[in-house]
Amino acid sequence: MIGQQAIMDSYLCLLHLTAGILVQSLFNAFATAAFLKFVVFSIFEMRYLLFIWKATRPSTSGEGWETMRRELSFLYSRFYGILHGF
- Residue with the larger pLDDT of the pair 84 and 39: 39
pTM for the whole structure: 0.60
pLDDT tens per residue, range 12-59 = 888 888 998 999 898 998 888 888 888 888 888 888 888 887 788 776
Confidence of residue 77 (pLDDT cuts 50, 70, 90): confident
Domain ranges of the chain: 2-85
- pLDDT of res. 8: 82
CA quadruple 7, 37, 15, 22: dihedral, nearest 10:
-160
Q: Within a 13 Å sphere around the CA of 81, how many CA atoms are in the beta-carbon half?
A: 6
